[in-house]
Amino acid sequence: MPRLGMQAVKGTITLALPLIALTVIAELFLPAALARLATLYLIYVTAVVGMQIYSGNSGIISFGQAGFMALGAYGSALLTIQPAVISTSLPDLPGWLAAIAGGQSLPVGMAGALLLVGLVATVFGLPLSRLGGAAASIATLGFLVIVHVTLVASTDITRGSQTFFGVPRGVSAFTALVVALVAVAVARLYRGTRAGLALRAAREDEVAARASGVNVVRERFLAWVLGGLVSGAAGVLLAHFLGAFSPKDFHFNLTFLLMSMLILGGISTVSGAVGGTALIVVMVDLLRRLEGGAEVLGLQLPEVFGLTDIGVGLVILAVMYRLRDGLFGLREVDERLFPEPAAAAAPVAPSGATDQVSLTVEGVGRRFSGLVALEDVSFSVRPGLVTGLIGPNGAGKSTLINAICGIVPPSSGRVLLNGTDTALVPVHEIPSRGLGRTFQNIRLFRNLSVLENVTVAADAVAGPGEDSRAAAMAALAVVGMQGLAARPASSLPYGAQRRLEIARALALRPSFLLLDEPAAGMNPAETDALIAVLRQIRADHRIGLLVVEHDLKLIMRLCDHIVVLNKGQMIAEGPPEHIRADPAVIEAYIGKRRAAA
């Protein structure tokens, strides 16, 4: 069984059992109205799980799922509509469509509809995947609006805003259950795959994910299409459940309902999608009865217009106020019930370092508007040695590290990694070519476990069939953190967070490791431990280290070679004893007058 496959199977079974039990009870023992409610619940589960696949893993709130449901519904409806009603309900159907429309079975309708959904998701997903955060959310809203307006405007095909009728009804709770179970299994499996973990990492920190080898655009695209297909399948079911519908059934009200379900349960987990949907379906059903003026304990209550929407809104507000991550939190139910056994560490992963590797900075300059942050800096980081990069505040050290990694491309000059100009390589490919890094301001995937943080990087360089969790454990062992593998990264003390960043970079099996102020905020004992770790990395892995640090004692103890920057320019380079005595360095650090004194 592949690495997270077993957990996904456990997760699917944990969620499947209550769904199966509910379906059996509803179909065999409950009145027809409640059996219909159970079927509707299962359809919503599929739709919300589709939303969870994209939004939960990418962190981008999607307004688009109702659009996919609409495409699924109309796609399947056109293929399966009763032939007898086509001439009356769709008299102006274009010839090419009339040739295939009507009379098909539900499975054919489903297949055709998913083809349409997949096609549209692909076309829209290509530009959408380049966006993140609020911009991407707004783009998904644009998608919903485009789908809605297109459906309303295509009167010959959809009957416009009028009701589309004549769709064969054939969705029992059992049919809806089968599709819901497939949706849950897909979502639960996806979450554990390399792609799912990489996207969750990008959700936590896009810059750090790219620096760990994640192709963020590709992962967002995959989740968008996969989530779209799952929600599209829910649309097909809803069409055949209702038998008649119009575009407004797949617009803002449905979007709000699906979002409420996911947010209430917890956007991060499939368990949250399934549980949140159950709560909202029950709540909406009860509130609708009250809204219509129900009789409670012999008392006739008045009709209260809008009670359902207001009630759902208030419940969401209350839950968000107390539980930001929803009722189910950040971990799947199965991850709490049956935690995974710790992975065995692989033999220490070999680094990509050999004496043939090279990292050369050639005349690098960088301007920010008028400000010259770097000017004509040239030096080499040597394999198997520690190079220190020092300089006063604002000297350009972090800018240089970012220029080397491709995050801030140089305005002039170039960085050659094994002879290749890094500016010509996509940022997410630079890590797998041998460059690992840490950040001045720690950038961890805070809501992932310690092991998952490192596995993201190990995945980026793992060959087919290679166990990246074992490789990640080996990297954690190097920094003495294998005992903390299951802890959420955000719960670690400061020093351990810095060591975790080093482990994550090591899991890339780098030839060169760039450390931006690794000892910042550490106490003397933590700094000593860090120096021991870095010495071990140099000795055991033959990695070339480039260390930016303000702690000059650490630099002098650790480094074989030092490069000094001041005001963007390289003012000295050489072994520690040479740098310590260099007048230009002394002047840069303590000022001209005191240096002369």
The distance of closest approach from Cβ of residue 371 to ligand ATP in the complex, given in angstroms and rounded to an integer, is 5
Count Cβ atoms below 10 Å from residue 250 Cβ, excluding itself: 27
The distance of closest approach from Cβ of residue 397 to ligand ATP in the complex, given in angstroms and rounded to an integer, is 4
- Tell me the window of 79-87, 145-153, 388-396, 577-585 that interacts with ligand ATP (CB under 6 A): 388-396
Closest CB to ligand ATP among 23 and 399? 399
Per-residue x/- mask for ligand ATP, residues 22 to 41, rule CB under 6 A? Answer: --------------------
Q: Pairing state of beta strands 544-548 and 569-574? A: unpaired
The distance of closest approach from Cβ of residue 525 to ligand ATP in the complex, given in angstroms and rounded to an integer, is 24
Compute CA distances 85 → 166, 226, 242, whole Å: 6, 34, 17
The distance of closest approach from Cβ of residue 550 to ligand ATP in the complex, given in angstroms and rounded to an integer, is 6
- Tell me the window of 336-344, 389-397, 419-427, 520-528 that interacts with ligand ATP (CB under 6 A): 389-397
The token duo for 93 is 């159907």
**For residues 318-345, b (16+ Cβ closer than 10 Å) or e, as one string?**
ebeeeeebbbbbbbbbbbeeeebeebeb
Strands lying side by side in the sheet with 420-421? 371-381, 359-368, 412-417, 420-421
Angstrom distance (rounded) from CA 399 to CA 573 = 18
- Tell me the window of 200-208, 223-231, 396-404, 466-474 that interacts with ligand ATP (CB under 6 A): 396-404
- Tell me the window of 307-315, 391-399, 420-428, 467-475 that interacts with ligand ATP (CB under 6 A): 391-399
212 with 457: CB under 8 angstroms?
yes
Q: Which of 210, 220, 397, 541 binds ligand ATP (CB under 6 A)?
A: 397
Closest CB to ligand ATP among 116 and 377? 377
Per-position DSSP letters for 129-158, written without gaps between them? TT--HHHHHHHHHHHHHHHHHHHHH-HHHH
Angstrom distance (rounded) from CA 368 to CA 411 = 9
The distance of closest approach from Cβ of residue 374 to ligand ATP in the complex, given in angstroms and rounded to an integer, is 8
456 with 201: CB under 8 angstroms?
yes
373 with 568: CB under 8 angstroms?
yes
- Tell me the window of 225-233, 258-266, 304-312, 397-405 that interacts with ligand ATP (CB under 6 A): 397-405
The distance of closest approach from Cβ of residue 368 to ligand ATP in the complex, given in angstroms and rounded to an integer, is 3
The distance of closest approach from Cβ of residue 571 to ligand ATP in the complex, given in angstroms and rounded to an integer, is 13
The distance of closest approach from Cβ of residue 206 to ligand ATP in the complex, given in angstroms and rounded to an integer, is 16
The distance of closest approach from Cβ of residue 450 to ligand ATP in the complex, given in angstroms and rounded to an integer, is 27
Amino acid code (one letter) for 508: L
Q: Which of 47, 281, 373, 386 binds ligand ATP (CB under 6 A)?
A: 373
Closest CB to ligand ATP among 71 and 563? 563
The distance of closest approach from Cβ of residue 210 to ligand ATP in the complex, given in angstroms and rounded to an integer, is 16
Q: Which of 196, 365, 384, 391 binds ligand ATP (CB under 6 A)?
A: 391
Amino acid code (one letter) for 481: M
Closest CB to ligand ATP among 226 and 395? 395
398 near ligand ATP, rule: CB under 6 A: yes
Angstrom distance (rounded) from CA 419 to CA 357 = 9
Q: Which residues have a Cβ under 8 Å from the Cβ of 399 and sit 6 or more positions away?
A: 366, 373, 374, 408
Closest CB to ligand ATP among 47 and 395? 395
Q: Which of 137, 140, 269, 399 binds ligand ATP (CB under 6 A)?
A: 399
Closest CB to ligand ATP among 171 and 403? 403
Number of H helices, E strands in the chain: 26, 12
Angstrom distance (rounded) from CA 288 to CA 303 = 10
The distance of closest approach from Cβ of residue 520 to ligand ATP in the complex, given in angstroms and rounded to an integer, is 9
Q: How many residues bind ligand ATP (CB under 6 A)?
A: 12
Residues between 420 and 449 that touch ligand ATP (CB under 6 A): 440
Q: Which of 221, 121, 238, 224 is nearest to 179 (CA)?
A: 238
Q: Which of 109, 168, 396, 434 binds ligand ATP (CB under 6 A)?
A: 396
The token duo for 280 is 């909202």
The distance of closest approach from Cβ of residue 415 to ligand ATP in the complex, given in angstroms and rounded to an integer, is 15
Residues between 352 and 371 that touch ligand ATP (CB under 6 A): 368, 371
Closest CB to ligand ATP among 198 and 519? 519
For residue 564, list its beta bridge partners.
Answer: 390, 572
The distance of closest approach from Cβ of residue 545 to ligand ATP in the complex, given in angstroms and rounded to an integer, is 17
Compute CA distances 576 → 383, 390, 398, 543, 554, whole Å: 18, 11, 21, 19, 11
393 near ligand ATP, rule: CB under 6 A: yes
Question: Judging by beta carbons within 10 Å of its beta carbon (0-12, 13-18, 19+), is residue 245 exposed, middle or buried?
Answer: buried
Compute CA distances 234 → 40, 63, 119, 271, whole Å: 10, 15, 17, 18
395 near ligand ATP, rule: CB under 6 A: yes
- Tell me the window of 10-18, 307-315, 331-339, 394-402 that interacts with ligand ATP (CB under 6 A): 394-402
Closest CB to ligand ATP among 357 and 519? 519
Residues of this chain that interact with ligand ATP (CB under 6 A) are 368, 371, 373, 391, 393-399, 440
